Amino acid sequence: MSPDLKSKLDIATNWLPRYTGTEIDDIGDYILLTNFKDYIQRFSEQFGCEIKGENHPMQTCTNSGGLTIMNFGMGSANAATAMDLLAAREPKGLLFLGKCGGIKHSAEIGYFILPIAAIRGEGTSKEYMLPEVPALPSFKLHKFVSDKIVAHGQEYRTGVVYTTNRRIWEWDEEFKEYLKKLSVIAVDMETATIFIVGHKNQISRGALLLVSDKPMTSEGIKTEESDREVTEKYAQLHLQIGIEAMTEIEEKGEQIKHFKY
């Protein structure tokens, strides 16, 4: 007999294993959310833990310390689905490890960005909250991440990120002029969605973005070769900073959400 799915939580609880091949109890209290399967593989090799959901839309891997990494694919719709599914687990904290295109000169390739906010240009988040609601991270979570970036001797920037549904826009001079007027530091496809859906679902969340290209000029547009070079140089460090930050939060047992919305 089919289950009686009356609420959003009922549906998310039923669907999370179907999307990820992972039982809810096998997902940790702290989450690294990414859209790179390579990061899942690196995590699995580092901790000797099994990748679950290889034949599912999303994959997970959880280490012995209870830290889970989850690959949701690409784009704002998938990001929202992942955040809705994870609401069934009620994680204590979630950090998005994504890549972005640097817009300002201060956002050079290989730099990390801790966004203080994201502009909701992607549309998906409008299904969750009114347009006036800002897309913001959880400040305390970002503090842990910033401390780890500094400990590794790395450069990072803060600023506002523009999140868009458009995948191929680098040819569009009008759109690029629009981005300049917004004075954003970078552009991506998921951050605003993750912040808003996290806010809606009462999940403490943050984002550590790696600048992977400089799309405002033709020579800075991402190619297969340039993306491979960025991955080889910076992906492991990107992942490691995320692991260390979320592990430290777990070990200190520090509360990063102090009230309900």
> Rounded CA gap, 147 and 118, in Å?
21
> Rounded CA gap, 146 and 126, in Å?
29
Q: Judging by DSSP bridges, how do beta strands 93-102 and 186-188 pair with one another?
A: antiparallel
The per-residue pLDDT for 223 is 87
Query: Is 151 a residue whose pLDDT tops 80?
Result: yes
Q: What is the mean pLDDT of residues 146-170?
A: 94
The per-residue pLDDT for 25 is 94
For 125-157, what is the HEC assignment?
HHHCCCCCCCECCCHHHHHHHHHHHHHCCCCEE
Q: Are 194 and 83 in contact (CB under 8 A)?
A: yes
- The pLDDT confidence band at residue 261, using thresholds 50, 70 and 90, is very low
Measured between alpha carbons, how far is residue 113 from residues 26, 62, 107, 135, 218 in Å? Answer: 30, 25, 8, 16, 22
pLDDT in tens, 33-86: 999 999 999 999 999 999 999 999 999 999 999 999 999 998 999 999 999 999
pLDDT in tens, 2-15: 677 778 888 999 99
The per-residue pLDDT for 4 is 74
Query: Is 260 a residue whose pLDDT tops 80?
Result: no
pLDDT in tens, 86-106: 999 999 999 999 999 999 888
Identify any residues that bridge with 149 across adjacent strands, giving them in sequence order. Answer: none
> DSSP H helical segments within the chain, as ranges?
8-20, 37-47, 76-86, 139-151, 173-182, 191-200, 224-252
- Of 216 and 162, the one with more pLDDT: 162
Q: Which of 49, 6, 241 is nearest to 147 (CA)?
A: 241
pTM of this structure: 0.94
- DSSP class of residue 52 equals B
Q: What is the mean pLDDT of residues 185-195?
A: 97
Scan for tokens 């390579």, then name that residue.
38
Counting residues of the chain whose pLDDT is more than 70, the rounded percentage is 95
Enter the tokens of residue 159: 């600023």
CB contact set of 178 (below 8 Å; sequence gap of 6+):
none
Q: What angle do CA 45, 34, 200 make, to 5 degrees?
A: 140
pLDDT in tens, 202-222: 999 999 999 999 999 888 888
